């Protein structure tokens, strides 16, 4: 991928509009619970400040659906960013208003401003060109460092590139290199571990990875469809008939290609998906009627860990069970430990997978931790991401 990134583009003493992903989790009281996404953008911001650029940051937070929501203002984000940078971050109370343009025009070299939540404005998600043009007027160069929103064709991810030279931020470039390596140049053996609840979300990724990997491991709620397709009863677990058909078709294709698909051999079942529900471990042929599959079992976890340990490349996305409930998180934690211990190149994406790594103190052991959720999956599915397609390629006129 021959994109121009920020390290190759002149920004010294220019005003730069930067799309960042500050969509951080908040407590009910509005406190930031995890500032990982803010920290991830620091290298790009510091690169610009080192070159005395005037930095205009823009982001969304939550889903206000085109209307202002006091609970989703970015004032707290601005305070956290200022603390991390050790310098003032001027929080502006709008995006496209004349007073915002006036405030931005007054920024000096090395100044930092943060616009209000982009999704307070309906023009953002509608990719309205007037809104994009107003955003573009705030900078001389556009830098997209928000890989997590690159799969959205919004005004701040794609529309603004119509009006400004657009380059990849340092985080964006790092994400694309890491994920491209999974598709084009993985060290072998290469194992992909996919969990989560919905077959429809992951099957296109499995399809695109199938000719590229040496093996697949499948867990989580989506594994129920594969187990059902393989002839196992899954009790009261929610499995759609269409998902079972698709899973069966995929297993047949993988068999024809000679690619092993590792499925659970034992599972944790519970009377209900609740912290106080009765649960036990059974073989995949012993799921009681009326019980729900909530996790992979210990033997499956052991086998998955053995496979991961032998891999030279591992990609993991999605929990292996109902990981938000402690008794049903053990399979996910076992896989997290295995990936963290793997000596090969490891890439992990998805909020639940990252939460498991963080809980166990293993994040630093991962080769690349992706900040994208849907963007990561769509990229590995082979889709062109709108927030990437609009960025300048090497050799293009700027």
Tokens representing residue 261 in the block: 């698909």
Taking the C-alpha atoms of residue 136 and residue 324, their distance in angstroms, rounded to an integer, is 41
Taking the C-alpha atoms of residue 1 and residue 50, their distance in angstroms, rounded to an integer, is 27
Q: Which H or E run includes 363?
A: none
How far is C-alpha 300 from the chain's CA centre?
A: 26
Taking the C-alpha atoms of residue 315 and residue 376, their distance in angstroms, rounded to an integer, is 11
DSSP states along 118-180 = GGGSHHHHTT-HHHHHHHHTT-SEEEE--GGGTTS--TTTTGGGGTS-EEE-HHHHHHHHHHH
Q: In this structure, are residues 391 and 4 in contact, taking their beta carbons and an 8 Å threshold?
A: yes
Closest Cα to residue 202, out of 315, 340, 308? Answer: 315
62 belongs to the catalytic site: no
Among 37, 119, 174, 337, the active-site one is: 37
198 belongs to the catalytic site: yes
Among 198, 212, 245, 359, the active-site one is: 198
Residue that has been written with the tokens 């890491």 in this structure: 178
Among 280, 351, 382, 394, the active-site one is: 351
374 belongs to the catalytic site: yes
DSSP states along 289-310 = TT-EEEEE-HHHHHHHHHHHHT
Which ranges in the chain belong to alpha helices (H)?
36-40, 42-50, 75-85, 98-105, 122-125, 129-136, 170-184, 199-209, 222-229, 241-257, 298-309, 330-341, 351-359, 374-381, 386-389
Taking the C-alpha atoms of residue 235 and residue 325, their distance in angstroms, rounded to an integer, is 20
397 belongs to the catalytic site: no
Please, which residues have CB within 8 angstroms of residue 240's CB and are 6 or more apart in sequence?
199, 225
Tokens representing residue 52 in the block: 């005395």
Closest Cα to residue 19, out of 162, 169, 177? Answer: 169
Q: In this structure, are residues 223 and 234 in contact, taking their beta carbons and an 8 Å threshold?
A: no
Taking the C-alpha atoms of residue 233 and residue 236, their distance in angstroms, rounded to an integer, is 9
- List residues with catalytic annotation: 37, 198, 351, 374
């Amino acid at each position: 991928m021959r994109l121009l990134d920020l390290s190759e583009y002149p920004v010294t003493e220019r005003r730069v509009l930067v799309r960042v992903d500050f969509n951080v989790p908040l407590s009910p009281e509005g406190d930031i619970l995890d500032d990982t996404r803010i920290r991830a953008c620091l290298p790009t911001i510091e690169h610009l400040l080192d070159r005395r650029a005037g930095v205009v940051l823009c982001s969304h937070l939550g889903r206000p659906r085109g209307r202002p929501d006091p609970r989703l203002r970015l004032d707290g984000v601005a305070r956290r960013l200022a603390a991390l940078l050790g310098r003032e971050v001027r929080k502006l109370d709008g995006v496209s208003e004349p007073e915002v343009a006036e405030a931005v025009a007054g920024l000096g070299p090395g100044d930092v401003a943060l616009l209000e939540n982009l999704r307070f404005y309906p023009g953002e998600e509608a990719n309205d060109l007037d809104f994009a043009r107003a955003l573009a007027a705030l900078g001389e160069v556009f830098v997209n460092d928000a890989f997590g929103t690159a799969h959205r064709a919004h005004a701040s991810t794609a529309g603004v590139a119509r009006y400004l030279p657009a380059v990849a931020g340092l985080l964006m470039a790092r994400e694309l290199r890491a994920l491209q390596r999974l598709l084009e140049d993985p060290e072998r053996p290469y194992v992909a571990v996919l969990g989560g609840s919905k077959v429809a979300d992951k099957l296109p990724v499995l399809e695109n990875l199938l000719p590229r990997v040496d093996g697949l491991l499948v867990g989580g709620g989506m594994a129920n469809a594969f187990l059902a397709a393989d002839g196992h009863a899954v009790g009261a677990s929610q499995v759609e008939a269409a998902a079972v058909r698709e899973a069966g078709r995929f297993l047949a294709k993988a068999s024809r290609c000679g690619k092993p698909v590792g499925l659970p051999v034992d599972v944790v079942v519970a009377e209900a998906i609740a912290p106080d529900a009765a649960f036990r471990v059974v073989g995949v042929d012993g799921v009681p009627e009326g019980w729900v599959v909530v996790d992979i079992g210990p033997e499956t976890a052991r086998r998955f860990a053995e496979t991961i340990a032998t891999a030279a490349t591992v990609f993991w996305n999605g929990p292996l069970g109902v990981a938000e409930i402690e008794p049903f998180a053990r399979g996910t934690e076992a896989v997290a430990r295995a990936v963290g211990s793997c000596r090969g190149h490891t890439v992990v994406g998805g909020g639940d997978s990252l939460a498991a790594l963080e809980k166990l103190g293993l994040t630093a052991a991962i080769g690349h931790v992706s900040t994208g959720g849907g963007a990561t999956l769509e990229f590995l599915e082979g889709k062109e991401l709108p927030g990437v397609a609009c960025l300048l390629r090497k050799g293009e006129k700027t």
